[in-house]
């Protein structure tokens, strides 16, 4: 009896091992491993993660082999930037000798006399990805202001992939020397997560921006401090990533959760790794909700990403004002932001905008006019339709500043006044929050004015009723 029990146990163990072995073989057949030893099921990385050092090395070699053709190039201060006199492979993006996206146009350091110079800073949404220059919201802004009788030029310093800190540094070291009178900072909410990132390849595994970037943090005195500045030379990034845990930068890389990279005996089994990844209650993935270092969540107003982003934006506004510039924070909503707003849910990043307003910083938000509209995006970025709305709302805000005579003697040059006051602006000046404003005009000419000059202000004024009489 005892021998039979032992035989049954042995058979059970053999069957179990064979079953596990079969599962292991199947797991390895349905998954793949890249050059860094990172296992994937489809596009889903399996735990434990491996640092993407070899992936970065290969992409960096490709970059160096074709560096002269690259539109985005490495930069020791900014991490990366738009290269001078460059055209991207598709021919859609072009830059001038200063790396400013344009037709290309060249710009003197001082604006022409009588011209209102506006400079834009931000990421790919500000740069105008997926659209030619003539269909970017920056170009539409310039056109709208000129059509309103304002001699204006808009300089686009946007750079694909930028975080909030990089955009601020681009203004600080490159943009402000062009003496803009108005500086617009494109606040795209996702960039809160980029603020606390150093190695782009940890935040986004499929990126071609495999450089490192400077990273701000708030020190014990409550002030901004920079790490990785100047940045790691591009040719050394892969070596640092190979064992990031030994680098002092690991303590500042928000998108490095040590537990997700910890190698264990059990997770050497592809089958167990597959089960652990898919049945993990947090469902982590690189750069995702549960792949950041321990601490508050990135949408928590007391968390490091939100606090640091807010302080950078406040610092930008304060320093821009000290330069005699008028800073504007432009909210750049993404698809999901508009979906939340249309459902009556206010996204968490609005807390940053609220704090900026409380601090006296001018915030322009085109989201109310974008809600319910269609075809606002190409793939991920604004279509020309979406860009026109953004430009129109921003042009209205800038026109309002001009009509209120907020430009003092520190402005070198004269902003041309309109031939006559804009009746629509006179109406908006008399409008008080929450009251109905009824416009009663009588001629066909006035009717056209209401449709062309005031129509787009309706939503901004909470669906102000408009009425006219035909003659």
Instruction: Determine contact, residues 194/160, Cβ cutoff 8 Å.
Output: no
- pLDDT band at residue 283 under the 50/70/90 scheme: low
- 350-358 and 304-322 helices cross at what angle (nearest 10)? 40
Per-residue pLDDT reduced to its tens digit, 216-257: 999 999 999 999 999 999 999 999 999 999 999 999 999 999
Q: Six-digit token pair at 407?
A: 């430009």
317-322 mean pLDDT: 97
Q: In terms of DSSP H, where are the helices of 280-408?
A: 304-322, 335-342, 350-358, 367-370, 384-403
Instruction: Determine contact, residues 415/151, Cβ cutoff 8 Å.
Output: yes
* Helix or strand (DSSP H, E) at 272: helix 270-279
Query: What pLDDT, on the 0 to 100 scale, is given for residue 456?
Result: 36
More confident residue, 288 or 77: 77
Quick check: helix, strand or coil at residue 120?
A: strand
Q: In what order do the strands lie in the sheet with 44-45?
A: 32-33, 39-41, 44-45
Instruction: Determine contact, residues 191/160, Cβ cutoff 8 Å.
Output: no
Query: What pLDDT, on the 0 to 100 scale, is given for residue 271?
Result: 82
Mean of the per-residue pLDDT values of the chain = 85
Per-residue pLDDT reduced to its tens digit, 107-123: 999 999 999 999 999 99
DSSP secondary structure letter of residue 433:
T
Residues 6 or more apart whose Cβ sits within 8 Å of residue 153: 107, 111, 112, 115, 116, 117, 118, 142
Give dist(CA 27, CA 33) in Å, integer: 12
Q: Residue 74: is its pLDDT beyond 50?
A: yes
353-374 mean pLDDT: 96
Give dist(CA 180, CA 154) in Å, integer: 9
Cα angle value 45/46/52 (rounded, 5°): 55
337-349 mean pLDDT: 95
Q: Residue 465: is its pLDDT beyond 70?
A: no
Whole-Å CA distances, 97 to 50, 67, 104, 105:
40, 16, 9, 9
Query: What pLDDT, on the 0 to 100 scale, is given for residue 407?
Result: 57
Give dist(CA 226, CA 71) in Å, integer: 26
Query: What pLDDT, on the 0 to 100 scale, is given for residue 412?
Result: 32
Per-residue pLDDT reduced to its tens digit, 413-464: 344 443 444 444 444 444 444 444 454 444 444 443 444 444 333 333 334 4
Give dist(CA 22, CA 106) in Å, integer: 66
């Amino acid at each position: 009896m005892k021998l039979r029990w032992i035989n049954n146990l042995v058979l059970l163990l053999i069957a179990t091992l064979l079953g596990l072995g079969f599962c292991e073989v199947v797991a390895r057949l349905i998954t793949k491993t890249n050059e860094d030893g990172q296992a994937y099921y489809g596009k889903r990385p399996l735990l434990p993660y491996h640092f993407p050092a070899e992936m970065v090395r290969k992409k960096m070699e490709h970059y160096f082999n074709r560096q002269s053709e690259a539109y985005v190039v490495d930069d020791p201060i900014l991490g990366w930037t738009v290269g001078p006199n460059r055209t991207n492979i598709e021919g859609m993006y072009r830059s001038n000798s200063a790396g400013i996206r344009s037709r290309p146009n060249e710009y003197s350091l001082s604006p022409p006399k009588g011209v209102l110079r506006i400079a834009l800073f931000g990421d790919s949404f500000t740069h105008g990805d997926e659209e030619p220059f003539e269909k970017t919201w920056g170009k539409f802004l310039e056109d709208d202001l000129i059509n309103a009788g304002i001699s204006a030029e808009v300089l686009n310093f946007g750079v694909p992939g930028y975080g909030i800190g990089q955009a601020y540094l681009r203004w600080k070291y490159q943009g402000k020397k062009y003496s803009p009178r108005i500086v617009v900072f494109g606040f795209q909410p996702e960039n809160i997560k980029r603020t606390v990132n150093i190695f782009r390849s940890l935040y986004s595994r499929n990126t071609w921006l495999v450089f490192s970037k400077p990273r701000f943090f708030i020190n014990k005195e409550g002030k901004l401090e920079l790490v990785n500045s100047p940045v790691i030379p591009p040719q050394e990034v892969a070596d640092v990533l190979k064992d990031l845990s030994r680098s002092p930068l690991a303590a500042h890389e928000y998108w490095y959760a040590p537990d997700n990279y910890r190698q264990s005996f059990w997770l050497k089994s592809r089958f167990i790794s597959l089960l652990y990844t898919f049945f993990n209650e947090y469902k982590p993935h690189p750069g995702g909700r549960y792949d950041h270092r321990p601490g508050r969540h990135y949408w928590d107003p007391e968390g490091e990403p939100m606090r640091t982003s807010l302080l950078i934006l406040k610092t930008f506004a304060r320093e821009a004002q000290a330069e005699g510039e008028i800073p504007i924070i432009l909210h750049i909503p993404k698809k999901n932001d508009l979906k939340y707003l249309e459902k009556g849910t206010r996204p968490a990043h609005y807390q940053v905008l609220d704090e900026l307003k409380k601090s006296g910083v001018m915030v322009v938000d085109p989201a109310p006019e974008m809600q319910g509209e269609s075809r606002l995006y190409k793939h991920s970025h604004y279509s020309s339709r979406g860009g026109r709305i953004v430009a129109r709302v921003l042009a209205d805000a800038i026109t309002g500043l001009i009509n209120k005579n907020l430009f003092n003697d520190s402005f070198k040059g004269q902003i041309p006044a309109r031939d006559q006051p804009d009746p629509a602006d006179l109406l908006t000046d008399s409008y008080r929050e929450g009251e109905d404003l009824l416009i009663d005009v009588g001629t066909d000419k006035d009717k056209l004015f209401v449709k062309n000059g005031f129509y787009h202000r309706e939503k901004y004024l909470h669906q102000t009723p408009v009425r006219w009489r035909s003659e």
